[in-house]
Amino acid sequence: MKLRALLLLLPLTAAVQAQQPSQPPAVRSPEVSADRRVTFRMRAPNAAKVTVFCECLTSEPAMTKDADGVWSVTVGPLEPDIYEYHFTVDGVDNLDQRNPVVKYNSRPNLIESVLEVPGPAPLFYDVKSVPHGKVEIRYYPSKTTGTTRRAFVYTPPNYERGTNRLPVLYLLHGADGDETVWTQFGRANLILDNLIAERKAAPMVVVMPFAYAYPWHAGVAGEKQRADFEKDLLTDLIPFVQSNYRVNTDRDNRALAGLSMGGGLTLAIGPRHLDMFSRLAVFSSGGGQNPEKTFADVAANAKNVNGQLKLFWIGVGTEDGAMAGSKRMSEFLTASGIKHIFKTTPGAHTWIVWRKYLNEVAPQIFPATS
């Protein structure tokens, strides 16, 4: 009886399966080949035009649609690096639906898909077979803002087993970032792991705060944002770090660095608080349209700036929109007699440049001692 029932069900099962539409083949994107060519794909059967924007490209190539409604384009070979990209479908920007790796920003409309093209050997920001530090998420009370704020804190390998006090670098993000981005996309923790293992940089604590006093959507005016962040940094965050981490508390062992907006904050805060910072590094940020006016007080204090700062480093990409402002700032500092390093490198206003800058400047901020 059971056998007969099964036999009766077989034709019905076959009929049901025959009525089910066949599933389209899975889409893989991005696909990185061994020769570092990359194929981007997106299923959009009803779209009229799809292009891809990628930091790795100088144009936005049009993609071609196949019979299954999948658009694709192959580019490269590309230089090994980490790139942001997105698709534009009939004029509307889209993330890569098949890629779970995204770069978040402080503003939700600025999320990007992430492409990583590996090199033949591990790069300076890759995970290597070396001792690794830790990244902690720390919440601290801010009397300045009346809120509880968050910072990411990197401690070097074997920090828990040590007893000596360490230097500390306060590392700031740009206008579209937040406290997560220097580790999530900048790979700051891995860069420091590798530099320390190679005895290029001294073991250090790196503090990465939210470089706005208030969320960007709060509508707080720019000058209050800057002034209150400065106050929070100096009177709330630094004391919290000194109370909770084994760090040196003197200015000689404290540095400030940042990219873009964070570089502007470094310029605004660092030279005016020489009692707090002895080393400054500015990535892709100028001093505004009129540094002669904005930084007149710094220029008037040139002798003290030169005597107190052990490093004043400014770097910018030659294709960066901040190039003109950075050059103008450097020329102003030179005319004011303020010693500094001004470096230009190929590149634009991107993390491709900023990761390299951190890798280059961290050993200059706190060099290895042995």
pLDDT at 22: 62
End-to-end CA distance of the chain: 85
Same domain, residue pair 146 and 45: no
**Residue 105: inside a domain, yes or no?**
yes
Residue 134 CB: number of other CB atoms within 10 A?
Answer: 12
Region of 69 please: left (phi>0), alpha (psi -120 to 50) or beta.
left
The answer to whether residue 17 is domain-embedded is: no
**Pair 168, 280 in one domain:** yes
**Predicted pLDDT of residue 280:** 98
Q: Which residues in the chain come in under a pLDDT of 70?
A: 1-23, 106-109, 370
Same domain? For 73 and 199 the reply is no
CATH number, domain at 181? Answer: 3.40.50.1820
The pLDDT score that the predictor gives to residue 217 is 74
What is the per-residue pLDDT for 2?
Answer: 40
Q: What is the pLDDT of residue 5?
A: 40
Question: Does any domain span residue 337?
Answer: yes
pLDDT at 14: 44
User: For 288, left (φ over 0), alpha (ψ -120 to 50), or beta?
Assistant: left
Same domain, yes or no: 335 and 361: yes
pLDDT of residue 122: 95
pLDDT score of 216: 74
* 193 is a domain residue: yes
pLDDT per residue over 11-27, tens digit each? 444 444 445 556 677 89
Same domain membership, residue 160 and residue 197: yes
Q: Show the domain range for 300.
A: 134-365
Q: How many Å apart are CA 135 and CA 158, to the nearest integer?
A: 13
Asked whether residue 13 is domain-assigned, the answer is: no
d(CA 41, CA 266): 41
Are residue 34 and residue 171 in the same domain, yes or no?
no
Q: In sequence order, which ranges of the chain are alpha helices (DSSP H)?
A: 2-19, 181-184, 188-197, 222-232, 238-244, 261-269, 291-294, 296-300, 302-308, 323-335, 351-365
- Amino acid 134: pLDDT: 98
How far is it, in rounded angstroms, from Cα 120 to Cα 102? Answer: 24
User: What's the pLDDT score for residue 215?
Assistant: 85
CATH number at residue 111: 2.60.40.10
56 and 201 fall within a common domain: no
Whole-number pLDDT of residue 109: 64
State the Cα–Cα distance between residues 129 and 152, nearest whole angstrom. 23
Number of H helices, E strands in the chain: 11, 17
203 and 111 within one domain: no
Same domain, 269 and 359: yes
Judged by DSSP in three states, 13 sits in helix
Residue 237 burial (CB count, 10 A): 22
Residue 257 lies in a domain: yes
Structure tokens at 131: 């001792």
